[in-house]
Structure 1
Amino acid sequence: METRVMLLILGLCLCRCTWANKDDGCSEGEVWSDGKCVAKEECDGSQCGLFGKCHKTNDGYNCICQEGFRNLDSNIREPCEDVDECVVSPSVCGPNGTCKNTQGSYTCTCPAGFMNQDKNTSAPCVDVNECKDEIHTCDSSQTCINTLGSFSCVCRDGYKDADARGDSAILACDDVNECYKHPPDCGPDGICQNTPGSYNCTCPPGFSNRGNITSAPCVDVDECYGNPPSCGPGGICQNTPGSYNCTCRKGFSKSGNSTSAPCVDQSCDEFNIGSSHTQAGGCLESARDKLRQICHGLSTTGEKLLEDLLMEIEEILSSGRCISDCSQVAELFAIMEEAMMLIGPQLIGPKRGESQQGHAACQRTHIGAELAVKRGRTPPTGPVMLSTENASFNTSWEMAAGNGTYPAFSPGFTVVALVSYKSLNTPNSSFQALREKMEEQEGQKEKKVLTELQIVSNVVTACVSNRVTHQLDQNVSLTFKHNQERNESERLRYVCVFWDRDAWSQRGCVSSSTSTHTVCSCNHLSSFAVLMALYNIKHTFELQLITWVGLAVSLACLFVCILTFGLCRPIKGTRTTIHLHLSLCLFLADLIFLCGISRAQKAGCGLVAGLLHYFFLAAFSWMLLEGVQLYRMVVKVFHTNLRPAYMMAAGYGAPLAIVIISAIAYPQGYGTDQHCWLSLERGFIWAFFGPVCIIIFLNAFFFIITLWKLAEKLTSLNPDLSNLQMIKGFTMTAVAQLCVLGGMWMFGCFMFQNVAMVYLFTILNSLQGALIFILHCLMYEPVRGEYAKFLRGIRTRQRRSQTEYSSNPSSNSQQVAKTNQSTSQL
């Protein structure tokens, strides 16, 4: 079986070989078909294969191959086969590429750091420039350097390798401080300043880098070249290292202490002593002399000039000289304004490198000042506030500089100043015009009349460089603290005023006040203050009626008391003498009060005030004597009565001495604008109120001791009841009298400051005479007995007259004469 299979296979092979030999035997152009050679049919579509195209020729055909293919055995009639470009051209992908054959083509695979040229996969591999394409990892301190297939990072100039390896594996670079070991040349005035990777030469003011290169040396800037600074119409610019000087021509002077200050045509003669416009007539010569020295540009600081000037003004204010009239006060204000404008520029340093703004403040006992100044080629902007003790000034730099160019007085400088006078008492005449205007305004309302004007704040002078300040576009604000806390009321009002030539005026100012502060908003600048205006409410008919009726009743009762204590012999004694003179003093005081208290601004007003002062003090002196007498009656056993000479000296002599001393010390204190009484100015009311308080205190002390001793005697085993009962009665009435009289004058001393005080004083005053009559006459049993005898005698005489008249009518005239005679003897 196996033999048969082998023979069959061998037969088939022989047959194949026979057929093949037969086909090979055909001539060109013939093919074997059906056991014989027949003519071959050209370009039938299969001759050139899948990748070739048959092309007919005269002698047959050719096979044209597609790109990437070629004929077998280089025979143009053979079918097309693939060309292996990687074998044919091994360097087709370049030295760094890897060729990979594909059917009809090839691809070039590039390693890292390379890429196909023009991004064509069959193009050769070329190097990638990571530094140009910015796909590297170098930071800002490093420079990228391209390498074949990669890159490296090298430290830039000004940096160094942080790990000092110096290879392409640098991770970071540290900055090199060029200013440390070998500093570069920045010039003698430059300062080397290290920067990341480099350095700068920092130049001081007046110097700049050569060629405007920040690392170039610093050289001096010639300010006088090109666009020179303004040295004024009389100045010549001279360059100096780092700055410049303004040299003034003859007839010109510096406007400030700086060497670069502009030169202005300004004569210092106007500040000479005794100049023509000095209204004070040489009284303020020391202050004017200080101004003249400042004008001549003394080589000293502005702070020192301010201290020296305030020292001069301090002596003037403390002595009270040179400010006694309105012209001297106006001159003082003018001097301070001129001084502030001269001192202000001295606060700026002489070198351009120093601050272009200055500030100074100085406080003395009677005066204080604060200045602020700015210098520049353009006016400054923004708010500015100055403050001294109890006063502040708010404005803006724009207002201080003014519109247009800087003021000619100090070119390039803007000065703001506030001067505060802590104890400036302006003359009374400075209130007159304001008082008349305010009274005219209040008179139209028919409600109240102005009584008094007084300054209740520091007087301040606010001044700026701007010379046009009489009508400002925007109001300035000044805040004052009151010297005393009082709320505004119908009778009290705070008024913002300014010094207008020689008097106070409220034109252009509005105020807003609390009990402690007043804010003044004004459309101009000058010297300012806050006045307290006191108004006196017009007397009503009811108040006048109470005064008339009350004083009439008081005078009638006091007149009866005088007759009683003077004519009743059974009650004569030391205590009765005291009551007599007490009643007499009060009677005269009330009578003068009723007749002359309203004679204000008329002849004799001061005399009326002086008499009232004297008799009211005398009344209180006799009250003190009564307290002393009671004390002696209780404490002493023998010689308890006071000597008449001593009583007269104490009751009339001591008040007279007080009145004389007061009149000599302040004669203007007797009489006010509204009443003939003691003035409230300068505390003159204490010439009366002080002694009264002392008397009330001493009497209270004597009465307390008296009551204490009286209580001891009442609790003793064998009291003398008759004497103790009498002393007890005397003491109680005296204490009641002291309470009423003392309480009445607690209101009376301030009766012209409040309407309620006026009514209380009037009512208590009307009860004063009646109370003395009740206490010392009606409540005293011996006096009541005398009154009873007097009344019984009158009734007896009346009955006797009636009886005689009825029995003998013709004797009526004689009876009436006898009755009158008897009455007069009592």
Structure 2
Amino acid sequence: MRNGCIRLPPGLSVLLLLTLRPADKAPGASASMACAPWCPPHSTCVNATACDCLPGFISSSADIITDPTETCDDINECRPSLPVSCGKLAECRNTEGSYYCMCTLGYKLVSGAMKFSHESQNTCQAEISFPTWTPAPGIKSQSLSRFYEKVQDLGRNFTLASAKDTIQDIIQEVDELLETAGDLENLSRSEQHCVATNLLTGLEHVLRELSKSLPSGPLTFSTATGTELSLEVEEQGQRNVSLSVNKAKMLLNWDTVQESGDAGPSVVGLISTPGMGKLLAGAPLVLETEGPEVLHETHTGLLQGVSPVLFSDVISVFVSNNNTQNLSSPVTFVFEHLVTPVPRQQVLCVFWEHGQNGSGHWATKGCRMVGTGDTSTTCLCTHLSSFAVLMAQYDVQEEDPALVVITYLGLSLSLLCLLLAALTFLLCKAIQNTSTSLHLQLCICLFLAHLLFLTAIDRTEIKVLCAIIAGTLHYLYLASFTWMLLEGLHLFFTARNLTVVNYSNVSRFMKKFMFPVGYGVPAVIVAISAASRPHLYGTAARCWLHPEKGFIWGFLGPVCAIISVNLAFFLMTLWILKSKLSSLNTDVSTLQNTRMLTFKAMAQLFILGCTWCLGILQLDPAAQAMAYLFTIINSLQGVFIFLVYCLLSQQVWEQYRQWLKGVRKSKADSEKYTLSSRATPEAYKPSTTLQFHRRNGHL
């Protein structure tokens, strides 16, 4: 109907059309005069002076339009005055030019179809009934029995009109059970975990089904003691959904919520149950064996079964889509911390995984942490369940105080010696050659690496900064070992020069390639490591490489290879020197030089980093002794460099003596100049002195 007019039945419409239609034109009449060019939208041409509205549309006068100013308007078949009936438990939906019927929210057709067009096709029946919530088997608790009796009472009195009140009553009953646990506190840990599993799964199931009967839009439910439910009901959408409760927030895509081919209302809900933490206390944690949440190898306490503690409220997620184990896009969770994290604690994003025996445990599979701070942690998960943030209390092996003191004293002394050696190599012109350049670069890399190690290895507060520190240490120590490799190669060629005269070619080769190799090779290794797994730079305890998936071999692999090659160079150098010594005559000078070279070659065992292999030998029963030996020798590597290349070099000592003479001469000249400058003013100012004595009555 439109403007009070009633659409005529099809038979009468045809009769009226035949009555109003003029006689057929004679053959040969003009075709352009047979149809009115001004027919409005939603109409068809009758003849040159009339148009007919399409079914479902009507003009202000009738179906037939003869006035060019008239229009064909949509007929709202769902208006109460029209004889269109969809039947009980259904409603009419008008569309442009037509209409359809569909069951009222909470009901559906027996056939499963969404629409029908007449009351005779109406088979709507109730879609939602109160879900069954069975108690956890084998648990004897009066508090739990009373809770399930109240839930059954809510189910018996449930109606679609009271769905909203029923949801409020459900979360209120759960909240009261958790806050006044009663005899639940006397249950064993495993039984409490079974109760928690039953409450979490049952609550998700009941809320999912009851929420489908709610009107579209966002809704929030809460209790006085902190339990809060936030949900949204919508028929369809292609946007992100953001829900917030007390201390948590969730962001997901609406496509994740909807089931495939489901045109009905979709539901997404987020409920926070702070009291659930009491039942989940002491729950075990199962770490993902091949994922980013594997803890550092020093977290021995956690790996041996030390239970982590809850770091946030427990939240549960439910959606209308039951297939949520492998989502197309991850869901983002932001948890507010219950307490402030402290050092030696690992923050983990976890979910509650149900066990076959009715119990459960925390697990990390499918969830990863993308950021954490003092107040909140952000997690990404590829499935839906009950989630929380755990604070893993791990035990770091106690460090031997003596080893700590040795490390800091040794590295501090090495830093001083490396600085003096670097200044010597830069300023001593008499020893400037390829060998000195190698020594200088090794000193620079070791100095920077040791300095950063002493000042920043424990700076784990800021994750990004810790990762940068770890990457820088990775590069500096790799560069140091690469220059050790070049030192070993140059030492071998130097010893070989005693028997084969080709030193100039070797020197040119070293000058050309030592800088690209010394600084380029470590850069390539670090770049590949950082590009492949950047999140593995930095651990919870140290700003160093994470051992997960063998990532630490990005450092140990090149180091082991360099140590092996340098050890081979060292042995070949000793063999060459032994052959040279056996062929010497009584030339004392040559013998003394060769013996000095032999001593320096022995000292190279420490300088070339070969003693780092002692770290592999830290096994029982000699682990303690090897740890001390390894720490002492390698922390003093800078001292060995200064001793061999500076203090045992005659050229360097000669340069030191010249510098010392220059300092003494400069000091003597300075003192002479000072005495002269003090005497000169008195000689040139007698009148001033005379006036001074006269003023003071001396004369």
Q: Which has the higher strand share?
A: 1
State whether TM-score is above 0.5. Answer: no
Q: Which has the higher helix share?
A: 2
Which has the greater radius of gyration?
1
- State the TM-score, normalizing by the size of structure 2: 0.40
Q: Which has the higher contact order (CA 8 A, sep 6+)?
A: 2
- State the TM-score, normalizing by the size of structure 1: 0.34
